[in-house]
Structure 1
Amino acid sequence: MNKYREALLASIRKQLNAWLELGRDDVSRDDLYRFLHTVRGTSGTIGLAAISNTTARLMDELEQSGRKSWTTGQLRTFFSDLIRAVYALGQQETTVQGGADGTGSFRFDQDEQPAVLVLDDDDAFLLYMKEELGKRGYRVIATTNPSLAMDYVRECNPQCVVLDLFMDHTAGVEFMLALRDKMKRRFIPTTVVGVEDTTANRIQAFRLGADDFVAKPFEMAELAARLERQLVRKRLFDRLLRTGGFRPNSNIGFCESND
């Protein structure tokens, strides 16, 4: 877990330095929100509760402040608790351990290794997903770039997709729309992960074509179990399609390929 922690802390320091040390006086609320949203989701998932709790509180403060843009002085005060939390973790020499992950509960054989595409805007989260899902026998294709993710869908034929719908700007939404429009006559189970586990966000995800929604932070064992269930469904649908026992219906995610 140490390398995930170090990657996330380095990412936080880099962004804070860009805002605080370079004298930015016009940082928008939206930029702050996206940063906090990403850090909160990743830190909670990899076991950094102090960072997750701090960013959750800062998200609430950001919402209540009503400011549209922030000066360097305002940001120094706003981020003071996060800076202290990052500094304290940076001084620790022990590895941060997450909860029980149930790694040995299920593993795919090498000859049936499924591919999972992971799309998220945080490198530390992608590193964590690649290693943890890799332990369970998945071939993990990870990227922060929605355009590349769409290329991987066409070229690598993933059996399932995991993405943060609420990435920078509308990147996640645009990817879901592209996936729905491009993939015809194929069923690729899609799991949306996100920090804000609200009814509105779940409805949006499902209306865009998601098959499942998992709130960040999450336990890897739970996500793995959900993916296993999605893969069982995919194998059933694929078998029915091959044998002619099922007629695709675009209303449930099947359509014809434009490729």
Structure 2
Amino acid sequence: MLKEARLMKEGRRRYVSELRKQLKELEELHGAPVGERTADTAKRIYRIVHTIKGSAPMFEFERIGSAAENLVHLWEWAQDQESILGSHTVRAQFYQAVQAGERWKRQLVMELGLYEQEMELDEQQEQFGKTTMTPSGGRLLIIDDDEVLRSYLVRRLKLEGYEVDHASDVATAQKLLREHSYDLITLDLMMHPQSGYELFEFVKEDPTLKWVPLVVLSGRDDIQDKVRCFYLGADDFVTKPFQYEELSARIYSLLKRTKSFEQMAFRDPLTGAYNRRFFDHQIQVELQRIRRYPTPISLVFIDIDRFKSINDTHGHHIGDLVLQGLAHMLQNHLRATDLIARFGGEEFVVVLPGSTAQDAQKSIDCILQLTRNEPVTQNDGQSYYITFSAGVAEWSEDMTVEEWIKRADDAMYAAKQCGRNKVLQYAKEMGGEDGIAEGAQGRKTVVLIADDDRILRSILMSKLQHLPITFLEAADGEEAYVLIKQQQVDLCILDSIMPNLGGFELLERLELEEAKPKDMHILMLSGRTREDDLSKGLSLGVNVFMHKPFSMVELEFKVRQLLNL
């Protein structure tokens, strides 16, 4: 989670810098002399606003993306013209688009200034310390149909360091609650078409949500409402209008108390890892999630090699330090979304959502390599090194949780039998040589990302880097064409509109020259939603068509499907 937050923050900073240049160029093109108001100039404007529209929402600049979308519609004629229009016609359309788009251009400039101020404030808070001590990892859901209040709360809470999602109605809130895990929910009672009361039963009867703190926001200071909400399971009730500082303090207090309860009930007191009780609960939550949105998930069973001899030789105090050291190493080198639990004694289990057995084996192998090269703990100037044996099992629908754990345990036992200090995947008949799968080291899959937005290319590579693939980059269709001709490409993530040669034109050239590799998959990205674009893409061999802005989770799922990962 922290790594992703840093990545997003750096991406936003770089994007704002790039946006400032784009808006400067847009201002110059808007003010072009009459003689320079040509079709080529109009196309340059279209490409700028099209890029802003597609990229801004990826960095959570929703209002910038919305303003740019309005400009895209105004300049669409420049992209769609099939033949050269007369110069008088071009100048007339150019003038109309400039006049109609002036308000949206001003909004882009204003929004840029506002976001720069927010980022500057965020930097100052990091440098000098926050006035409010936000509990780490807090993800909130704001449910309110008042767009102005909702937007205000989201922005203020984000500035305090929270991760915040929002919904304007019950249906959207239910969808978000199914897809994500939240630390706290604020709920407006008086919403349309369904009231906030309709969410109480949904939240408080779902075993995965019933312990999430719920703060009710209401415009009515009615004692009956308060009593009813508390009986239904609300943790706090705040009457509108309210002072933001009061709501912020209430949220902080609830999160802090919840974290304390969690620490006592669900954490192993020695290592700080989750305990068996929490594992048994959370594994059901994860399996419910993947049944709704099928993705791979793997479990790893870890056992420290010769742990008894550590206790016998150095004493239980050193044994405890070794357990703490390994737990710390696992927590530092696995993702925030991975679940680490102490199963008892010297055994740990790790659940890796979104990971195949091969992915999980690779992750745990990297940590095993660290234990070989670095001390897991130090005491009185002496360093202590360990190794461990681990078994990996990927979930399938035909097994129970007990069978899943047993498979990982069987693979771990096979690793012990093979000399310890290994990570093995589960296979049938683990006792035989053919039953031990350590992962094939074949040719790496090659993915070409062809998009003229370099920041988006960087984000895509960062988000997909955990997959067993090699990346190539192209800033336009011409570069992509050369790379495809030079070497094997298994998947091309291709932007439909780029300078020099767009995505459609690239595919047409490859088809004309009969140069498109038969095994190359195409995932096309587009900021337009026209049906003829979709039909054209399918006729040119596009396998998947995704519209900007898109979900990174959905994109990764499509990439895995296309590459059979």
Instruction: Give TM-score, length-normalised by structure 1.
Output: 0.75
Partner of 1:88: 114
Q: Say if 1:130 and 1:142, in contact at 8 Å, map to a contact too.
A: no
Partner of 2:355: 106
Q: Say if 1:160 and 1:188, in contact at 8 Å, map to a contact too.
A: yes
In structure 2, distance between residues paired with 1:207 and 1:132 = 29
Q: In the TM superposition, what whole-angstrom CA distance separates every residue of 1:167-202 from its partner, at most 9, and x where no partner exists?
A: 236522221123333536631000111011221110
Pair member with larger Rg: 2
- 1:56 is matched with which residue: 36, 45, 69? 69
Q: In the TM superposition, what whole-angstrom CA distance separates every residue of 1:71-124 from its partner, at most 9, and x where no partner exists?
A: 9x8576551000111111122234987988998513665746422101111111
CA separation of 1:40/1:151 partners in 2, compared to 1, >3 Å: closer, same or farther? same
Partner of 2:18: 11
In structure 1, distance between residues paired with 2:355 and 2:115 = 33
Please list every run of 5 or more consecutive structure 2 residues that lacks an aligned counterpart in the other structure. Answer: 1-7, 78-89, 124-157, 166-178, 181-294, 296-336, 338-352, 363-440
| Number of residues of Structure 1 aligned to a counterpart in Structure 2 | 231
In structure 2, distance between residues paired with 1:98 and 1:38 = 26
Moved more, 84-93 or 188-197: 84-93
Q: Say if 2:70 and 2:104, in contact at 8 Å, map to a contact too.
A: no
- 1:217 is aligned with what amino acid? P
Please state how far the C-alpha of 1:63 moved relative to its aligned partner.
5.5
Q: Say if 1:40 and 1:56, in contact at 8 Å, map to a contact too.
A: yes
Instruction: Give TM-score, length-normalised by structure 2.
Output: 0.37
Moved more, 210-219 or 181-190: 181-190
Aligned pair 1:167/2:498, yes or no?
A: yes
Q: In the TM superposition, what whole-angstrom CA distance separates every residue of 1:219-254 from its partner, at most 9, and x where no partner exists?
A: 11111111111112xx9xxxxxxxxxxxxxxxxxxx
Q: Cα RMSD between the aligned structures?
A: 3.3
Q: Say if 2:478 and 2:500, in contact at 8 Å, map to a contact too.
A: no
In structure 2, distance between residues paired with 1:145 and 1:60 = 23
CA separation of 1:87/1:211 partners in 2, compared to 1, >3 Å: closer, same or farther? same
CA separation of 1:31/1:70 partners in 2, compared to 1, >3 Å: closer, same or farther? farther
- 2:554 is aligned with what amino acid? E
CA separation of 1:187/1:63 partners in 2, compared to 1, >3 Å: closer, same or farther? closer
Partner of 2:560: 228
Secondary structure of the residue that 1:229 maps to in structure 2?
helix
Please state how far the C-alpha of 1:209 moved relative to its aligned partner.
1.7
Aligned pair 1:215/2:241, yes or no?
A: no
CA separation of 1:170/1:202 partners in 2, compared to 1, >3 Å: closer, same or farther? same
Q: Say if 1:133 and 1:140, in contact at 8 Å, map to a contact too.
A: no
Q: Say if 1:115 and 1:157, in contact at 8 Å, map to a contact too.
A: yes
Partner of 1:147: 478
**Bigger strand fraction:** 2
Aligned pair 1:68/2:93, yes or no?
A: yes
CA separation of 1:78/1:161 partners in 2, compared to 1, >3 Å: closer, same or farther? same
Aligned pair 1:40/2:65, yes or no?
A: no
Partner of 1:126: 457
Please list every run of 5 or more consecutive structure 1 residues that lacks an aligned counterpart in the other structure. Answer: 236-259
In structure 2, distance between residues paired with 1:49 and 1:86 = 12
Secondary structure of the residue that 1:88 maps to in structure 2?
helix
Partner of 1:205: 537
